[in-house]
Amino acid sequence: MRSRLWRGVAAVGVALAALGSGAARAAEVSGVPTYRPAGSAPFSRIESPALLEGLGIPLVFTAKFPDRAKAAVFALPALADPRFVPQLRRYLAGGGRALITARLAARLGRLPAEYADRVYVLRLPERGQGLASLPQDTVDESRNFLLFPLGLNIQAPPRVRVRLLGRNQIQVENCNPWAAGVRIAFHTDRWPRATVLRTEDGAVPVHLNLAAFQVPPRSARVLRMARG
């Protein structure tokens, strides 16, 4: 049963993929900071940030506490920073959003519950289950908890990865062996107004800041916002 105070999502890790196109490699990659302080242990397989990529969360690793970010990801390695807990408390009190793994949450006492409206606790699935076992609304909820401050709302099945490239491009990668339907809503205070998303092989129309398209199996598309 899901706690009234904590929100969670089950997930498992998948391997990180390299950027799939020259356009993606050339653009500056931005996204949600994932805190890994200097001297910390590697992420465990259970807590691997790769699982967040499988939920469509664009990650950017940082060795400095992301106190200026509007949303961030924290796992057990964050405890290598002796100032982590008071920093996290200040961050949440200042309005930041945090996705915290269940293993880390278990070490933080009541802190996640005290800031329940700004904390999403990532819970792991039963052994042997994968991303495909998650309900679609759970996948979208966990993703958009972090993407909302970035001006995005994305609906897509598990194992569809998202990367933010510069100020007007998004890479969407489908790691599934079937075509994946994707819907992206843009908040115009964060993203330029556009009527189409240009791709290498055509264009996707944008209507009322919403674009819907399919990504072929095991492939990636780079979409650039444009007018006409």
How many other C-beta atoms can be found within 10 angstroms of the C-beta atom of residue 180? Answer: 20
- Kindly report which listed range (44-53, 62-71, 152-161, 188-197) carries the lowest average pLDDT score: 44-53
The Cα–Cα gap between 33 and 73 comes to 6
Indicate whether 112 pLDDT > 60. yes
* Amino acid, res. 209: N
Quickly state the pLDDT bin for 19 (edges 50, 70, 90).
Answer: very low
On the question of pLDDT at 29 being above 80, the answer is no
Residue-level pLDDT at 11 = 31
Q: pLDDT of 76-87, one tens digit each?
A: 999 999 999 999
- Which residue, 48, 221, 71, is CA-closest to 152? 71
Task: Check pLDDT > 60 for residue 40.
Answer: yes
SS3 106: coil
Spell out the domains of the chain, with CATH numbers in brackets. Answer: 7-122 (no CATH), 150-226 (2.60.40.1180)
Query: What is the pTM (predicted TM-score) of this model?
Result: 0.80
What single string gives the DSSP state of each residue in 6-65?
-EEE-----PPPPP-SHHHHHSPEE-EEEE--TTPPPPPTTT-THHHHHTT--EEEESS-
Q: What is the pLDDT of residue 129?
A: 60
- The 10s digit of each residue's pLDDT in 134-151 is 778 878 888 899 999 999
